[in-house]
Structure 1
């Protein structure tokens, strides 16, 4: 299986895990909402049931008060005891408040409101009838025993039964409403239980699946870690081999090169009178090639060491560093060169390594603008929240951006050695240094007009 395929599968599994966890979380939130809503509905239903019981209790209370008024009137008619009359009067005074309370409790029920109107009419009729019996007591001698018993018994009982029947009807209405509310609560409870059960089952299944994927991912990561450790060990071995190779290059190859150059010089000095112009030219080519080979070896070793040298980070005064490097660049030039430099902010990095970067970029700017009548070299900087971007600009020959991918390669050159000398390692070293600092380096150019090299450095020390 290719690396891209494995990477694609790992990304897919990661997304599946995240999706499963997200769905499980959404289900748990939904279940919590349903549970909260159900509890709220149960609370409202309990209040509604309690309210229904209060209505029933109040209806019974009104009917009981009427019954108490009737019993007190009956006792007064039979015994003529004034205490029964006072008791009757107290009940009659209390009835309007009890009926008002009943109206308030049933204010949201239009049907019960009409029934209360009828109940109140029946109570009024019954109270007037009871009052009439009390008033007739003043003319007790004119009222026969049969009439008194009729007021106390037959007619009064019939009126009371009618009132009691209407009260029972009102209670039956409330009982029916209570039953409907109870069935609704039961249905909602069953539905809630089902939703909670299904939601929990699905959420648990998703969580278990996500856990399985996570365990699988951990297993794969452990395997990848072992592969990384193995690769690291191989890289360490390779680095040691490269160091050994560098040592060989530094010592074993330099000796024959020095010998070639030395014997060529001796041959030229001792046998110059025996050589024609072509022979002397060939000896000169041999010596120049050996020197160039030595320079290439030096640059290659410098590039190799640059990747192994530790980065000693500190706050670097870029103004002072640029002035120092520019003085050295100008010292190797035949003429004094102007440098247009803005006030540069400080940056964090290894001063020695950054010096090498500036040396390469400024030396290149001088070299590639040397054929201009008036050289223009400029270094500026701009900063944002996290980094400082430095720019080195020249008005030299430039390069074609179509070949940009070769710009930072080792021994890659966009101009021939006859045009401009060099080995093509300087920009590769600059890129390696900037990348090791956690920055970026890039360029933009237009042939025969300008070239700008930009590189970024951290504005603050890494945490």
Structure 2
């Protein structure tokens, strides 16, 4: 079934990829058509504006030509009749010709050749108007017949020049309008072709996608039926798992009850064992004090062995109880001044009574259980003081700390007897000792307690040493409590 599911997922993914590709191509076609439609719209607007401008140019050239003709006619009429009203009409036509030529120049902005023609027309009209002013003054002196003949001779082709230049302007404008309209028609034809082919491609794509989608739906129906069968089987498995979980819960409750009984038993045993041990130690002490002079050297040694064994057994019982309780006691984290805690632990470990020179560097604080960490510090410092004692006044113990990202690292370094690194893996086990008891006292539980305390803080403890030169123990754990971390 899993193989069928994987095969079905691969096929479904394949078909989905084809569908997505088809949709992407369809969207691209529609986007292309929309983009071309927008461009065609802009071209049409630009063509329409150009045609309107060109039509305005044609209109203005005709209007300017008519105004020039009116100015010519009014002046000739004035020379024939001397009527001042005709002279005023001529001046009005002159001003209108200037306005119309200015308007024509603005509409032809950017076309230097056309503007040059309009400037030629203005120059011709300006020269013609100057001649009209001169002949008007001469006519006012009583020489009307002579002035009329002079005006006709001197300006016979001036108006023809104006008509020719304005005709050239109209011809060029009309030609450009025709070219622009033809270009717009060709662009529209290309857009129609693109629209036809794009629509046809989109229709073909829709048909292909519809067929592919139908295939995908049929395949999904088959896969769904197979998945329903798989779900039915999985539910049966879940029922079995649920039954196993219930059994596991029952076993866990039984184990918890057993742990409570074991804890009560441990307390009872420790209490019952301590009393006889105290009695043994007490009677041995009484025997040593009351019958000391009567005892032989061997007997006194036997009494010392009895007292020492009782004390070591009591210490061992305390260490075992502390070790067993570590797994049950919840961690109560708080912000710990690790420098102060290390100094307190050094005092409890007997640092004041040691010949070793102890240096405690400023240690980074951390979120931890101060009671548990104090016990870890006491155990590590007790070991460091104990195993460096043979150095006498040269014994050194150094305590350092550093922050590494979101973790803190604390190091206890001594120059004591060290140990062989081949046996380092046994160091943190219960009852594991690398030195004989007559060399160094101990129960073999202290480092196991340190390892469990650091592990419960989410960290680890490591050791490195050189035989005869000293040892380095390092505790490393998160500086802050992790969200949702178990206590």
The answer as to whether partners of 2:379 and 2:446 remain within 8 angstroms in 1 is yes
Q: In the alignment, what sits opposite 1:33? A: 17
Q: In the alignment, what sits opposite 1:297? A: 317
Q: In the alignment, what sits opposite 1:364? A: 383
CA distance in 2, matches of 1:22, 1:388: 50
CA distance in 1, matches of 2:407, 2:328: 24
CA distance in 1, matches of 2:202, 2:338: 83
The answer as to whether partners of 2:402 and 2:408 remain within 8 angstroms in 1 is yes
Q: In the alignment, what sits opposite 1:138? A: none
Q: CA deviation at 1:428?
A: 1.4
Q: Write out per-residue CA displacement over residues 266-322 of structure 1, whole angstroms, 9 at most, x where no aligned residue.
A: 445555566543333323322222222122112222222333333221000111111
Unaligned runs of 5+ in 1: 1-12, 48-95, 109-173
Q: In the alignment, what sits opposite 1:286? A: 306
The answer as to whether partners of 2:19 and 2:209 remain within 8 angstroms in 1 is no
CA distance in 2, matches of 1:217, 1:398: 56
Equivalent position SS for 1:192: helix
Q: CA deviation at 1:217?
A: 6.6
The answer as to whether partners of 2:454 and 2:461 remain within 8 angstroms in 1 is yes
Q: In the alignment, what sits opposite 2:431? A: 411
The answer as to whether partners of 1:394 and 1:451 remain within 8 angstroms in 2 is yes
Unaligned runs of 5+ in 2: 32-181
**Residue 239 of structure 1, aligned match among 229, 235, 259:** 259
Which has the greater radius of gyration?
A: 2
- Please give the TM-score of this superposition, normalised by the length of structure 1: 0.60
Q: Cα gap change, 1:218/1:403 in structure 2, threshold over 3 Å: closer, same or farther?
A: farther
**Residue 365 of structure 2, aligned match among 325, 328, 346:** 346
Q: CA deviation at 1:46?
A: 11
**Residue 405 of structure 2, aligned match among 353, 376, 385:** 385
Q: Which is worse superposed, 277-286 or 267-276? A: 267-276
CA distance in 1, matches of 2:264, 2:385: 36
The answer as to whether partners of 1:268 and 1:283 remain within 8 angstroms in 2 is yes
Q: Cα gap change, 1:196/1:360 in structure 2, threshold over 3 Å: closer, same or farther?
A: same
**Residue 263 of structure 1, aligned match among 283, 301, 315:** 283
CA RMSD of aligned residues (A): 4.3
Q: Write out per-residue CA displacement over residues 169-213 of structure 1, whole angstroms, 9 at most, x where no aligned residue.
A: xxxxx9xx99x9899769836852564246525653675577567
Equivalent position SS for 2:323: helix
Q: In the alignment, what sits opposite 1:420? A: 440
Q: Write out per-residue CA displacement over residues 11-31 of structure 1, whole angstroms, 9 at most, x where no aligned residue.
A: xx9xx69x957973x655443
Equivalent position SS for 2:465: strand
Q: CA deviation at 1:365?
A: 0.6
Q: In the alignment, what sits opposite 2:347? A: 327
- Please give the TM-score of this superposition, normalised by the length of structure 2: 0.57
CA distance in 2, matches of 1:293, 1:44: 87
CA distance in 1, matches of 2:285, 2:361: 48
Q: Cα gap change, 1:421/1:99 in structure 2, threshold over 3 Å: closer, same or farther?
A: closer
CA distance in 1, matches of 2:30, 2:293: 125
Q: Which is worse superposed, 266-275 or 374-383? A: 266-275
CA distance in 1, matches of 2:311, 2:28: 97
Q: In the alignment, what sits opposite 1:459? A: 479
Q: Which is worse superposed, 417-426 or 228-237? A: 228-237
| Bigger relative CO (Cα 8 Å, ≥ 6 apart) | 1
Equivalent position SS for 2:441: coil
Equivalent position SS for 1:404: helix
Q: Cα gap change, 1:393/1:216 in structure 2, threshold over 3 Å: closer, same or farther?
A: farther
Q: CA deviation at 1:384?
A: 2.5
Are 2:270 and 1:250 equivalent residues in the alignment?
Answer: yes
Q: CA deviation at 1:236?
A: 1.5
Q: In the alignment, what sits opposite 1:136? A: none
Count of matched residue pairs = 335
Q: CA deviation at 1:220?
A: 5.9
The answer as to whether partners of 1:31 and 1:199 remain within 8 angstroms in 2 is no
Q: CA deviation at 1:327?
A: 3.2
Equivalent position SS for 2:314: helix
- Matching of residues 426-441 of structure 1 within 5 Å: 426-441=446-461
